Amino acid sequence: GAGAGVRQLHSPWATFRFASSTIRLRQDWRRLGVAAVVWDAAVVLCAYLEMAGIDLRDRAVIELGAGTGLLGIVATLLGTKEPAGLRVLHSTCCARVTMTDREAALEFLESNVQANLPSELRPRAVVKELTWGKDLDNFPPGAFDFVLGADIVYLEETFAELLQTLEHLCSDQTVILLACRIRYERDQKFLKMLRDRFLVYEVHYDSSKDVHIYKAQRGTRKDDF
């Protein structure tokens, strides 16, 4: 129940199984708060990437608000998988994953990435600072195939910067995948702001964890229909 969930949050380690790998993440709730625990939305989005067979090989992937790094680590591992489950290491076919967060969370994020990726894959996963709306010049515009975010919609004062960041990172081909709980009216407000600029579809709902996954793409503007 809820008690177990809270205990898991405050535990120093969280262990997961994705992409035929065991991922063991350090958590540090006391020191870093929300950035340093694995939220359900990240777990649901990892499972969706794996179950839906999203092909990340040879794709440029960026994660916003990476926190502990679970989603970016899983994306890196999935990005090396042949559909038959064979791991391939010649670099032409591996995902290139950029995991971003605010400066305070980076050292922690980097330590989890180092601990959970085999050495030959570490060059495929880069940890970089990104404060939404601020550090955009450090990221080439429209250069990403996938933008991933798990539980990053929770502070209303960040919504405009988050949208500005998504617009900067996306080309018309980019697929955004956001996993979130719709807890409050403000969450609906963010979805409305997103729908004003992107085509948005709900692609998955995990009823046990009450997490929705939305896919957003620039594509044709609504007013063109």
- In 69-140 the beta strands, taken as DSSP E runs, fall at 96-101, 125-129
User: In terms of pLDDT, which residue wins out, 18 or 28?
Assistant: 18
Band of residue 224 on the pLDDT scale cut at 50, 70, 90: very low
The predicted-structure confidence for 88-136, as pLDDT tens digits, reads as follows 555 456 889 999 999 988 998 999 999 999 999 999 999 999 999 998 9
Q: Which residues, at least 6 apart from 165, have a Cβ–Cβ distance to it below 8 Å?
A: 64, 130, 132, 133, 136
Which residues lie below 8 Å from residue 170, measured CB to CB, with a gap of 6+? Answer: 142, 144, 147, 176, 198, 217, 218
pLDDT for the residue numbered 83: 52
For residue 127, list its beta bridge partners.
Answer: 99
pLDDT of 204 reads 96
What integer is the mean pLDDT of 153-157?
A: 85
Rounded alpha-carbon distances, angstroms, from residue 39 to 42, 68, 210: 6, 9, 12
141: left (phi over 0), alpha (psi -120 to 50) or beta: beta
Helix or strand (DSSP H, E) at 188: helix 185-197
Closest-CA residue to 154 (of 196, 203, 190): 190
CATH H-level, domain 2-218: superfamily: Vaccinia Virus protein VP39 (3.40.50.150)
Q: Where along the chain do its domains lie?
A: 2-218
